[in-house]
Structure 1
Amino acid sequence: MHPAPHTAAHPRRPLALALTALVALALTACTAGSGEGGQASGERGDPSVRPGLQRFYGQELAWRPCGDGLSCARLTVPRDYAHPRNGKTFVLPVAKAATAGKHDRIGSLVYNPGGPGASGVSDLKSDSGEVFSEEVRARFDIVSFDPRGVGGSRPAVTCAEPDDEGAADDAPEPLTPRTRGDRARALAAARADAEACAKGSGGILRQVGTDDAARDLDVLRAALGDRKLSYLGWSYGTSLGTSYAEQFPHRVRALALDGATDPSLNWSQRAISQGAGFRRAVEDYAEYCADIAGAGCPGTSPAEISGVLDRLFEEAAREPLPVSDEEAYEVDARTLLDVVTDAMYSPEDDWEALSDALAEAADGDATRLAELAEGDDASGDDASGDDASGNARSKRREAGNDDDALLAVSCLDTPHPRAAGPYWKALAPAEKAAGVYGTSSVVDELTCKDWPAGTQRPHRVRAAGVPPVLVVGTTGDPATPYEEARSLAEQFPGGMLLTYEGVGHTAYGRSNACVTDAVDDYLIDLKRIGADTIC
């Protein structure tokens, strides 16, 4: 997903984490790559026997116990598939929960939890393998890995602290920059972020894109001993899966993509799409809150609740909301936006806490909002993973490289204008479609303006020969709007769309038996679903 504060670095927050942070899941998955292992080269021959790639495809994983019944290993892949003999590599951590059903074993089920920037190994170690049903775990080894540049990858993307010197003033960056001064501050902050990443990781920033990560996935498939790939991707993982299908269509056994992104959208279309998704999710929240009319709800009608939110955004834009603890997080407009949008990922876990915090903030005390911003929510997770400014950036950088990798992959995957004009031009349609959720998404794209150029371009899926792909879309998904899932399913030859009528980010692994059964039947028996299947 994107450098924006509404994307989620982890799709399945109720289970472990949340999608990343604001808007732009820079998930445009890849063109049919023309380099080593791309679709074009795949048609000319098996990449595993191409000069320079044999040693990577022929490696054997040295598994070792790594706690909680898991086994871990390391996979070596070339940094540059066009020049695999130059000696430069990525070493990627891999984790496996081996099936107990040895006799009925189908093979490995590789999954990606989202991002970009989420560590698959950490996710599996956090018991997220339990999200898979007993039936699936009885037939597959559950496998995940850290993509290139992410988590325990060596090397990994590392962005230095932005240099804030030379900033015009200490005025907050508005969610909708209208004046020349506002826009100058937004550009300066975005430039500082880009320069910080170039300073810390300049040597690999062009090598962490999704196309190359998909080529790594094929090397992993071979190292696991599987003739064909069985794969499940949540959120950004759908982008990775789409790229794999385009480059290696004949190596796909089963491909389930939940919380999908549409690779045909350009940067501004994607930002506005996600911004609109969050706006709709907040409207769903307001209706839910009004219906339950709980004591902690900041209003008795959707209109009143929306009005409270609008007022808090206006106040926070002028100065941070008051808190009772002077050591507490500063709740400016950006922090408020992050807290609200983070809560949209997992309504079951977070809407009640959000209601209490908003009600208290409306009464003049934003301390509980500050606590949520610090990650003291019901699930104990810091869901956002965005690159928001101020304290949030510092706090998250201390936790790992999720945000840095999110930014790096997102910007590389999606072409962005080099001039500032197109971003300002996109503000009006973004505001009309999604209010501050849309304009802030556009602003967050500014960091990619000064990023190294990647090779991908918006495009419709090109995956001739791929078997039927299962796409899962949630009608109330805030971060990967349902319309994108529907579009992606239509783009795959023989693509199937499973619709979950609900709220929150992604569907499989939550609590809906209809979704679980349909996805499991597909993964195990390759069972197709009927057209217009709804759960």
Structure 2
Amino acid sequence: MRRALVLVLLAVLGVSGCTAVVPGTAEPGKIEVKGPKGPVPAGLEAFYGQALVWRDCKALGRSAAAKASFGRRGTECAMVEVPLDYAEPGARAISLGVLRVRASGEHGRIGSLVINPGGPGQSGMVAAAMLSSRLSDSPLRQSFDLVGFDPRGVGISEPRITCLTSAEQEAVRQVDASTVELREAQAADFAGKCAERTGTRELANIGTRDVARDMDVLRSALGDDQLTYLGYSYGTRLGTAYAEAFPRNVRAMVLDGAVDPEASLVDGVVLQYKAFDAALDRYLDWCTDQCAVSTRDDLKQLVDDLRQDPVDVGGRRVLPEDVITAIVAALYSEDAWPVLESALDALSAGDATEVMGLSDTYQGRGQDGEYDGASTALTAIRCVDDPPVRDRARLAPVVDQVKGTFLAYAQPPLPSLDACAFWPVPNTSTPHKPNTPGLVTPVVISTTGDPATPYQAGVQLAEDLGGVLVSFQGNQHTAYLQGDPCVDQVGDDYLIQAKVPTTWLTC
């Protein structure tokens, strides 16, 4: 807590706009004290009123994507302190990475737009940097500082989630786990290593419940009385959790690619299997007259061939699961369909290089063979967020419901327990209908052909939050700020002018 107390002293003294040397570096940074703003929970004054020291981001990048995006012009970074455990705020503080790109307009700055790109496990810092370069001189960039943060356990933020080494992750991928016993042994080993290498107290406090509270600390430290938020995919779950915890602290909230807050994890898996299957049908329809691999039978033949004789790529075996991963990765957007076509056609000719490349990218494996930790963070956070399934009997109906889908053919689902069944700490959230008295009307965007967060989940979230639903007709995961003029106009008008659509609409 010592560092947090230093921040309080800076706030009391009214230090602002000064230059200081950032601890652990020789680099000067600009100190800003803009908090506390808005309601401050008792015992958290030190965190809500802390100073932020902004400096160049380049040295903070760990992954290839982070290193590339953190060097973009106009980015600046800081570390914000939050309690590891909000039940004991004075016991231990952890640091979260924050990236900001200042509003480009000379006049009319509204405040900060805090962004979460999803996952869980994806870096908000990388997302904010990349989004700022895409938006250029858009009205949104002129009106808001774009702010992304790495949630606890993600990217450069603490606590560092460590479960398997990159070599251990690679070894797991190279095993065709075709029995319940083998899969459960892998799951139990993963959970055990997470507990040993990360720590149970750390694992107990990395869930969405705690990240939502971190967002309110960040809001205050940034100097905003209320939060303006843009959440994609899992970011809609995080936004919903924030809206429940701090409904009156929200200025505006866009939730795109919704996670249904009332759906169980098991229900969500079934819906995703079916949604990806429908997306695969749309891809194959597109492929009919131009692809060498253009039917389900063609795909099944590729899978059967790999089962009997895995293809070698650089000394690594390409298994049916890699084909599934490649297909899933490419079905997130129509723009990736030509990439998938090329990869599958090459595989049919005996070259699995492109398929393995897609699979590696989706699983966070860099060209150096190191994994970026995003998939590990996803599992760890999910295991804290959702009630575990420890009864195999509950999984049997799931296996029955997904039969007939291509994903189930290529990687037959087994009634095996996952890592969460062996998780060493209890879950901190459960599926439920959110209670958000006093919340402003949020805008929920749902895409009709979204394979990852099926359309109906957006309908449910809009109803639960009393929001306005924008239905986008397309085949992709999420839609706002991705080039559709109708969706972008609705989102911009809402975030900038607080202009709420009068009715649900379709773009």
- TM-score using structure 2 length: 0.83
Alignment of 1:478 with 2:451, yes or no, is yes
Q: Tell me the secondary structure at the aligned position of residue 40 of structure 2.
A: helix
Judging changes above 3 Å, is the alpha-carbon distance between structure 1 residues 332 and 513 closer, same or farther for their aligned structure 2 residues?
same
Task: For 2:303, give the aligned amino acid.
Answer: F
Alignment of 1:200 with 2:197, yes or no, is yes
After TM superposition, give the deviation of residue 60 of structure 1 in Å: 1.9
Judging changes above 3 Å, is the alpha-carbon distance between structure 1 residues 396 and 157 closer, same or farther for their aligned structure 2 residues?
farther
Q: Which moved more, 1:399-408 or 1:145-154?
A: 399-408
* Post-superposition CA distance 1:42-99 (Å, at most 9, x none): xxxx86140x21101111212223351112111000011111111x122001111111
Aligned-partner Cα distance in 1 for 2:296–2:140: 42
- Among 410, 428, 436, the alignment partner of 1:463 is 436
Tell me what 1:265 maps to. 263
After TM superposition, give the deviation of residue 433 of structure 1 in Å: 6.5
Q: Decide whether the 8 Å contact of 1:345 with 1:504 is kept in 2.
A: yes
Alignment of 1:187 with 2:184, yes or no, is yes
Judging changes above 3 Å, is the alpha-carbon distance between structure 1 residues 279 and 396 closer, same or farther for their aligned structure 2 residues?
farther
After TM superposition, give the deviation of residue 361 of structure 1 in Å: 2.5
Task: For 1:473, give the aligned amino acid.
Answer: S
* Post-superposition CA distance 1:4-59 (Å, at most 9, x none): xxxxxxxxxxxxxxxxxxxxxxxxxxxxxxxxxxxxxxxxxx86140x21101111
Q: Tell me the secondary structure at the aligned position of residue 468 of structure 1.
A: coil
Judging changes above 3 Å, is the alpha-carbon distance between structure 1 residues 132 and 207 closer, same or farther for their aligned structure 2 residues?
farther
Tell me what 1:41 maps to. none
After TM superposition, give the deviation of residue 124 of structure 1 in Å: 2.8
- Among 279, 298, 303, the alignment partner of 2:293 is 298
Pairwise mapping of residues 114-153 of structure 1 onto structure 2 (< 5 A)?
A: 114-126=118-130, 128-131=132-135, 134-153=138-157
After TM superposition, give the deviation of residue 397 of structure 1 in Å: 7.9
Alignment of 1:503 with 2:495, yes or no, is no
Alignment of 1:340 with 2:313, yes or no, is no
Greater length-normalized contact order (CA 8 Å, ≥ 6 residues apart): 1
Tell me what 1:48 maps to. 40
* Post-superposition CA distance 1:290-328 (Å, at most 9, x none): 2xx22x4423xxxxx1211122223333442x35xx525
Q: Decide whether the 8 Å contact of 2:203 with 2:380 is kept in 1.
A: yes
Q: Decide whether the 8 Å contact of 1:343 with 1:351 is kept in 2.
A: yes
Judging changes above 3 Å, is the alpha-carbon distance between structure 1 residues 256 and 143 closer, same or farther for their aligned structure 2 residues?
same
Task: For 2:296, give the aligned amino acid.
Answer: S
Q: Decide whether the 8 Å contact of 2:123 with 2:149 is kept in 1.
A: yes
Aligned-partner Cα distance in 2 for 1:245–1:161: 36
Aligned-partner Cα distance in 1 for 2:371–2:166: 17
Judging changes above 3 Å, is the alpha-carbon distance between structure 1 residues 162 and 108 closer, same or farther for their aligned structure 2 residues?
closer
After TM superposition, give the deviation of residue 126 of structure 1 in Å: 3.9
Q: Tell me the secondary structure at the aligned position of residue 483 of structure 2.
A: coil
Q: Decide whether the 8 Å contact of 1:116 with 1:405 is kept in 2.
A: yes
Q: Which moved more, 1:69-78 or 1:95-104?
A: 95-104
Aligned-partner Cα distance in 2 for 1:313–1:95: 43
Task: For 1:120, give the aligned amino acid.
Answer: G
Tell me what 1:368 maps to. 354
Q: Decide whether the 8 Å contact of 1:274 with 1:438 is kept in 2.
A: no
Q: Decide whether the 8 Å contact of 1:272 with 1:434 is kept in 2.
A: no
Q: Decide whether the 8 Å contact of 1:473 with 1:498 is kept in 2.
A: yes
Aligned-partner Cα distance in 1 for 2:455–2:221: 35
After TM superposition, give the deviation of residue 438 of structure 1 in Å: 10
Judging changes above 3 Å, is the alpha-carbon distance between structure 1 residues 356 and 214 closer, same or farther for their aligned structure 2 residues?
same
Judging changes above 3 Å, is the alpha-carbon distance between structure 1 residues 127 and 441 closer, same or farther for their aligned structure 2 residues?
farther
Alignment of 1:91 with 2:95, yes or no, is yes
- Among 226, 233, 236, the alignment partner of 2:234 is 236
Q: Percent identity?
A: 37
Tell me what 2:339 maps to. 353
Tell me what 1:283 maps to. 281
Aligned-partner Cα distance in 1 for 2:344–2:415: 25
Q: Decide whether the 8 Å contact of 2:324 with 2:411 is kept in 1.
A: no
Q: Decide whether the 8 Å contact of 1:236 with 1:260 is kept in 2.
A: yes
Aligned-partner Cα distance in 2 for 1:238–1:461: 12
Alignment of 1:528 with 2:507, yes or no, is no
Judging changes above 3 Å, is the alpha-carbon distance between structure 1 residues 395 and 460 closer, same or farther for their aligned structure 2 residues?
farther
- Please, which runs of 5 or more residues in structure 2 have no aligned partner? 1-37, 58-70
After TM superposition, give the deviation of residue 339 of structure 1 in Å: 0.6
Tell me what 2:9 maps to. none
Q: Decide whether the 8 Å contact of 2:325 with 2:362 is kept in 1.
A: no
Task: For 2:377, give the aligned amino acid.
Answer: A
After TM superposition, give the deviation of residue 441 of structure 1 in Å: 7.2
- Among 252, 255, 269, the alignment partner of 1:254 is 252
Tell me what 2:465 maps to. 492
Alignment of 1:429 with 2:409, yes or no, is no
- Among 275, 300, 317, the alignment partner of 1:310 is 300
Q: Decide whether the 8 Å contact of 1:47 with 1:53 is kept in 2.
A: no
After TM superposition, give the deviation of residue 429 of structure 1 in Å: 1.7
Task: For 1:491, give the aligned amino acid.
Answer: D
After TM superposition, give the deviation of residue 462 of structure 1 in Å: 1.2
Aligned-partner Cα distance in 2 for 1:140–1:441: 45
After TM superposition, give the deviation of residue 435 of structure 1 in Å: 5.0
After TM superposition, give the deviation of residue 122 of structure 1 in Å: 2.5
- Among 193, 205, 220, the alignment partner of 2:218 is 220
Q: Which moved more, 1:442-451 or 1:511-520?
A: 442-451
Q: Decide whether the 8 Å contact of 1:230 with 1:523 is kept in 2.
A: yes
Aligned-partner Cα distance in 2 for 1:329–1:455: 39
Aligned-partner Cα distance in 1 for 2:388–2:206: 17
Task: For 1:136, give the aligned amino acid.
Answer: L
Judging changes above 3 Å, is the alpha-carbon distance between structure 1 residues 438 and 415 closer, same or farther for their aligned structure 2 residues?
farther
Task: For 1:61, give the aligned amino acid.
Answer: L
- Among 107, 115, 126, the alignment partner of 2:111 is 107
- Please, which runs of 5 or more residues in structure 1 have no aligned partner? 1-45, 175-181, 300-304, 375-381, 386-391
Q: Decide whether the 8 Å contact of 1:342 with 1:384 is kept in 2.
A: no
